[in-house]
């Protein structure tokens, strides 16, 4: 008798004792996965368990390759279940426990009812392996969901972290914060150049006060942005060069000579106004703010 | 064939490029511009690329060379109105802007040109080279 036939037999057996297995599983769940039940409700979980069991029995004759097409309905169901449960604050471990507790129900049924006593061991191993694989699907789904979330957050971080502010007539300010990588440089450059096109600004102040460390890579990105600004026909002033950044830049032998740099943003604004032939002057004191 | 118009305005030559330039057309344009400078004795050149959406490394280098050639003939060049997309391509291609004057638009370009000329005249007057 081939292995495949054993799957057929097991599927038939489970179909016959379907209600019994569901009942056993539910009892197992109450004992082992209390949190899952309290989160989504006893009736709800019973309905889902029965659905999953039904799909599993239908797919089982195809063997134990859970990646095969025959297992599509089972896989999809576990995936949606995993997403729902984790969204309802269940840990991935609890979701896996939920799947694994089906094993006990299936095994105790097999042990009592399996017709060929001689092949019982083989059957038990098969069921074990199958349910383990299903449990892994739930964990993989969890990881995929999390990774997708991380990717989305990264994207939104990139989008929000490069604002271009018009601080004065024909002067733009770009405060850079956090880690600068090539992807972000592209976004910053894109935003800055669009800003120049829209406002026809003549000076762009790149403020790097919020960048923790400048290495050769960051410096190269800054120089690229500065040259792009200059190609557009505007001036670029890089501000927020702290003592430590100045030290590292020189020690690493980075050439920032072609770029206009200033220590603070205030200096940069003054420089920008100077480039436009404007200046801020004091006038007679009106309020008591200057006292 | 699409010819690029070359305008003379006072002592300046203005070249508004309105078509996408292929390699041969670009070389022809360079020759035409230099011939026009020779002919008119203009001392200022503005190349307006605000209608150009694609600049490859060849055209980028050619524009830079044209500016340097004009410089040899005593003509100051300003490249105006480069589009965002063009700039990003050029930066990715590693184009540098050494000795190339740029401006946001034609108006600013004329301003820069006048400033460059005055500076040059002053320097010549003082007998110093800049």
ipTM rounded to 2 decimals: 0.74
Laid out side by side, the sheet with B12-16 consists of: B7-9, B12-16, B44-48, B76-80, B101-103
Q: Select from B29, B7, B21, B93 the least CA-distant residue to B52.
A: B21
Are B107 and B9 within 8 A, CB to CB? no
Cross-chain residue pair B91–A224, CB shorter than 8 Å: yes
Output the pLDDT for position A55.
Answer: 87
**pLDDT of A122 above 90:** no
Are A196 and B104 within 8 A, CB to CB? yes
Average pLDDT over residues A161-174: 88
Output the pLDDT for position B130.
Answer: 40
Q: Show residues of chain B in contact with A231, CB under 8 Å.
A: 82, 87, 90-91, 95, 97, 102
Dump the DSSP string for B71-117: HHTT-EEEEE---HHHHHHHHHTT---TT-EEESSHHHHHHHHHHHH
pLDDT tens by residue, A43-70: 787 888 888 888 888 888 877 777 888 8
Q: What average pLDDT is seen over chain A? A: 83
Cross-chain residue pair A233–B88, CB shorter than 8 Å: no
In which band, very low, low, confident or very high, does the pLDDT at A1 lie, cut at 50, 70 and 90?
very low
**pLDDT of A264 above 50:** yes
- A275 touching B (Cβ < 8 Å): no
Cross-chain residue pair B84–A232, CB shorter than 8 Å: yes
- B106 touching A (Cβ < 8 Å): no
Output the pLDDT for position A3.
Answer: 56
Residue of B nearest to A195 (CA): B84
Alpha-carbon gap, residue A245 to A261, rounded angstroms: 12
Positions of chain B with pLDDT lower than 70, given as ranges: 1-2, 96-99, 125-130
Please tell me whether residue A258 adopts helix, strand or coil conformation: coil
In which band, very low, low, confident or very high, does the pLDDT at A166 lie, cut at 50, 70 and 90?
very high
Test mutation, A169, A188, A232, A275, chain B, max B CBs within 10 A? A232
Output the pLDDT for position A174.
Answer: 92
Output the pLDDT for position A272.
Answer: 92
Residue of B nearest to A223 (CA): B91
Please tell me whether residue A210 adopts helix, strand or coil conformation: strand
Output the pLDDT for position A2.
Answer: 54
Q: Show residues of chain A in contact with B116, CB under 8 Å.
A: none
Are B80 and B14 within 8 A, CB to CB? no
Window from A119-128, A161-170, B37-46 with minimum mean pLDDT: A119-128
Output the pLDDT for position A87.
Answer: 81
pTM over 0.80: no
Q: Copy the structure tokens of residue B89.
A: 């391509």
Average pLDDT over residues A237-250: 86
Q: Show residues of chain A in contact with B104, CB under 8 Å.
A: 196, 200-202, 232-234
- B84 touching A (Cβ < 8 Å): yes
Interface of A with B in 158-187 (CB under 8 A): 186
In which band, very low, low, confident or very high, does the pLDDT at A215 lie, cut at 50, 70 and 90?
confident
Interface of B with A in 22-61 (CB under 8 A): none
Output the pLDDT for position B129.
Answer: 42
Output the pLDDT for position B128.
Answer: 45
Residue with structure tokens 């508004």?
B16
**pLDDT of A236 above 80:** yes
Residue of B nearest to A202 (CA): B104
Cross-chain residue pair B82–A200, CB shorter than 8 Å: no
How far from the centroid of its chain's Cα atoms is residue A144's Cα? 9
Cross-chain residue pair B90–A189, CB shorter than 8 Å: no
Cross-chain residue pair A200–B105, CB shorter than 8 Å: yes
């Amino acid at each position: 008798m081939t292995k495949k036939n054993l799957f057929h037999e097991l599927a038939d057996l489970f179909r016959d004792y379907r209600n019994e297995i569901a009942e056993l599983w539910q009892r197992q769940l109450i004992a082992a996965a209390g949190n899952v039940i309290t989160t989504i409700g006893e009736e709800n979980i019973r309905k889902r368990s029965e659905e999953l069991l039904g799909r599993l029995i239908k797919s089982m004759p195809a063997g134990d390759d859970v990646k095969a097409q025959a297992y599509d309905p089972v896989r999809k169901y576990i995936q949606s279940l995993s997403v729902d449960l984790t969204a309802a604050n269940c840990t991935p471990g609890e979701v896996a426990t939920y799947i694994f507790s089906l094993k006990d129900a299936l095994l105790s049924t097999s042990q009592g009812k399996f017709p060929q006593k001689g092949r019982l061991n083989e059957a038990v191993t098969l069921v074990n392996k199958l349910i383990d694989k299903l449990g892994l699907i739930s964990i993989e789904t969890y990881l995929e969901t999390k990774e997708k979330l991380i990717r989305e957050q990264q994207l939104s971080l990139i989008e929000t972290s490069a604002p271009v502010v018009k601080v004065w007539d024909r002067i733009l300010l770009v405060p850079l914060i956090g880690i600068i990588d090539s992807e972000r440089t592209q976004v910053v450059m894109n935003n800055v150049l669009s800003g120049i096109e829209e406002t026809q600004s003549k000076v762009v102040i790149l403020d790097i006060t919020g960048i923790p460390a400048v290495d050769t890579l960051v410096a190269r990105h800054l120089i690229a942005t500065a040259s792009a600004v200059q190609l557009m026909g505007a001036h670029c002033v890089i501000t927020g060069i702290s003592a430590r950044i100045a030290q590292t830049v020189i020690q690493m032998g980075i050439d920032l000579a072609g770029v206009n740099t200033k220590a603070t943003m205030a200096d940069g604004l003054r420089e920008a106004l100077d480039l436009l032939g404007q200046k801020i002057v004091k006038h007679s004191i009106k309020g008591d703010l200057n006292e | 064939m699409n010819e690029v118009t070359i305008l003379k305005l006072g002592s300046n030559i203005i070249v508004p490029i309105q078509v996408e330039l292929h390699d041969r057309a670009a070389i022809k344009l360079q020759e035409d511009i230099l011939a026009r400078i020779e002919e008119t004795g203009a001392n200022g050149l503005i190349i307006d690329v605000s209608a150009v959406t694609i600049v490859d490394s060849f055209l980028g280098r050619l524009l830079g060379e044209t500016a340097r050639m004009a410089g040899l003939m005593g003509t100051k060049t300003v490249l105006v109105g480069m589009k965002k997309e063009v700039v990003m391509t050029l930066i990715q291609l590693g184009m540098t802007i050494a000795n190339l004057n740029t401006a946001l638009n034609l108006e600013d370009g004329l301003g820069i040109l006048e400033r460059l000329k005055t500076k040059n005249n002053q320097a010549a007057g003082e007998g110093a080279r800049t």
